[in-house]
Amino acid sequence: MVMKDLVIPLAAGLAIFLFGMQVMRIGFEHLFLERAKHLLAMLTRTPLTGLLTGTVSTAILQSSSAVLLLVIGLTHARLMTFRQTIGVILGANIGTVVTTELLAINVSELGVYFFIVGSILFLCSWPALRAAGMVIGGFGLLFLGMETMQSIASFLEGAGWMERVYRWGQEGALSGIVAGMLLTAVIQSSTATTAITMNLIYEQLISLPLAIAIVLGSNIGTCVTALLGSMATNLAGRQVAVAHVLLNVLGVLLFIPLIPMLAAIVESLTDNPMLQVAHAQTLFNVLCSLLALPFVTVFERLVFLVTQKE
C-alpha cells in the first residue's frame, strides 16, 4: 500500500519534474548560454550591475546552480574577479524565484498541452525551434510532475500523517529548515523542494510557517552543487562557493525569527497557499540580496578571512 500509493507516485512525479527542469535548462542553454557568458564577463563591473546580470542570467537559464557553476569556471579561468562574482550570487538568488512564481499559478491542466507543443517544435529542423521546443516541453513536464506528486495527498491524509506533520512543525522552524536543506542537497534542486512544499500546503498537509521554513532550508541545501563544482578549481573558484554558502546561511539565520511576520505578509497578499509559498521565497531572496548589496566590501573581507588558510 505504501509503495503503491506513496513511494511510486512521489518518485515518479519527482523524476518527471527533475527531468523537465533538465530539459528546460538544456533548451535555454542552447538559446542563451553564449550570451549569458558574455553578460557575466562584461556586465559585472559593480555589485549592482552584477546583481542585475545574475538575476537576468538565472531567470534565463532557469538554474541558479548552473549560473554559479558558470561563474566558478569564469573565476577559475581569471575572466572574472572574486569581487565581481558577489553581485552575481546575489542576483542568482533573485532570478531563481521566477520558476517558482510561475509554478504557483494553477495551470496544471495545461501541462500536457505545453508538452505536446514542445514535442512538435522539437521535431523541427531549425536548431532555435528545437531549443524552444525543449523549453516549452520541459515547462509542461514540471506541471505534469507536480500533478503526479499531488496524488499522494489522499494517502497521507488517510494514514493520519497530517497530524504527525503538524506536530513536527510545532517543534520550531529549525526542523523545517533542516528538512528543506537535506531534501535539496539530495535532489539537487531548490525549485523541486519548493514545488513539493507547495503541493503539501495546497493539500493542507503542512502549515504556512513550516512551509516557509522548508523553503528557507532549501536555500542552504542548494549550495551543495556549487561546493562540489568548486572542489577542482583554484582559490578564487572556491571563494565563490564559500561566498554562496555564507550569504545563504546568514540570510536564513536573519529570517528565522521573522518567519511569523513573513507568513502574515504573504497571507495578506493572496489566499492561494501555493502563491503564499512562492511569494515568501521571493520576498526572502529579494530582501536578503538587497540588504547584502551595500556590504559587499565587508563580505568580501569575511570570505577572504574564512579562506585565508587555504
Domain boundaries, the chain: 2-307
Task: Give which of 99, 101, 89 is closest to 289, Cα–Cα.
Answer: 89
Specify the pLDDT at position 62.
66
Across 49-61, average pLDDT: 79
* pLDDT band for position 194 (cuts 50, 70, 90): confident
Q: What residue spans of 43-81 are helical by DSSP H?
A: 47-61, 64-76
Distance CA 149, CA 81 (A): 42
Distance CA 57, CA 31 (A): 12
Distance CA 157, CA 159 (A): 5
Specify the pLDDT at position 262.
93
DSSP letter (8 states) at residue 204: T
Distance CA 181, CA 78 (A): 31
* pLDDT band for position 156 (cuts 50, 70, 90): low
Which residues are CB-contacts of 197 (< 8 A; sequence separation ≥ 6)? 180, 206, 211, 214, 215, 218, 277
Q: Which three cell numbers stand for residue 65?
A: 546552480
Neighbour tally for 230: CB within 10 Å: 24
Q: Is 264 left (phi over 0), alpha (psi -120 to 50) or beta?
A: alpha
Specify the pLDDT at position 235.
78
Across 137-157, average pLDDT: 70
Contact criterion met (CB below 8 Å) for 240 and 54: no
pTM beyond 0.85: the answer is no
